[in-house]
Amino acid sequence: MSKKIQDHYKYNRLISALRQKIFAGEFDHEGQLPPERKLAEMFGFARVTIRTALRELKEDGLIEQRPGVGTFVKLPQKQQPEPQRREYRFCFICRPSPMNLTPEADPYNSQLLLGFFKAKNRENMFTLDTLVIPNDFDSLADYAGESGTDFDNWDGLILSHSPTDADIDWLVRGKRNFVVLGEMESMRYFPVITVDNFTGAYLLTRHLLEQGKKEPLFLFVEEKHLWERRRIAGFLQALSDAGIPNGRERIVHEIPADVEETRNYMKELIRRKVPFDSLIIAGDIHGTGVLEVLKSSGIRVPEDVAVGIYDAYRWFSNMFPHVPYLTQPFARIGETAIGMLKERLANGQSSISIEVIPPELAANNTGN
């Protein structure tokens, strides 16, 4: 792995560590952060890096900087006591990160946690637990039986781990309050929050085609989940509207989210002389490997090959500021999930709703 990527991973760990301390309330009782010099000593970074991280946390709405006083966590506003209200207990359920990171450090889950924190910051009436279900458990019921976890201890569950139909059946039969993040075949029967994956893929593909490209490839997307099939449908529709035939032949199916494996696959693609003049890449880790191989092969981006990418978390967009990307509003999804759980509690869990949040195309990547 190049030093540049290692530096960005280290920076992402710094941001994640600071967020985790904020979420856990580990700073002093007034929420004041140590000065930059002390933070630099604590985390082993230069003060200029600490200053950049604090600026990012401020943009996220997690801290406020008071000139001449210091840096403080933006604490929830005090609420007037209401006898009818109580503090809810929610649980965020996910699978282990493919990069072996904690939820607070994982680029996707950390953004969801940021959304939960923002919701808590507005109205401090819930606590949030995080539960990571090991991959060797096929279902929530199996995990509950083996671990002794009582899911009824929580007032609401937020599922971001692609639950199975068996999971949904188990939750519904248990009359549990839950929200699923992501599309599923049976989602008419339970509350769902998702991104408009069809429109997102369509916008990103069309943006590349409008640059005069005729031979795009959609890299590393699968069809095992509905949201993946929506992306493929958006890609194919954009090709069809542009009069480009044989769209399905332009889809490269998923390989593990690993930079080295991606490099090897991309080198083989170039060696076989597979024709392409534009690439849509379904994720940052894959994107890093692809862009490194293009550069080492003397292929210029965007002059020779146009590239568009999903997600583009800050660490990626700082490395490749010239690559257009599709922002996924994960923090907003987290905020919406909390609101949906509370609404269902207020309405006796009678409401079933699907919230579709539009992504946003950033054609001139300056970070999100």
241: enclosing H helix or E strand: helix 226-241
Would you state the structure tokens that stand for residue 146, as one six-digit string? 């083996």
Confidence of residue 269 (pLDDT cuts 50, 70, 90): very high
**Domains in the chain with CATH codes:** 3-72 (1.10.10.10), 88-195+330-357 (3.40.50.2300), 197-327 (3.40.50.2300)
Confidence of residue 237 (pLDDT cuts 50, 70, 90): very high
> What letter represents residue 49's amino acid?
T
Whether the pLDDT of residue 367 is over 50: the answer is no
pLDDT tens readout for residues 104-128: 878 788 889 989 988 987 777 899 9
* pTM metric for this prediction: 0.78
Whether the pLDDT of residue 77 is over 60: the answer is no
pLDDT tens readout for residues 131-178: 999 999 999 999 999 999 999 999 999 998 778 888 999 998 999 999
- Residues 314 and 56: their CA atoms lie apart, in Å, by 9
pLDDT tens readout for residues 280-292: 998 888 898 999 9
Which carries the bigger pLDDT value, residue 216 or residue 102?
216
Contact (Cβ atoms closer than 8 angstroms) between residue 29 and residue 69: no
- Residues 167 and 79: their CA atoms lie apart, in Å, by 36
- Residues 49 and 361: their CA atoms lie apart, in Å, by 28
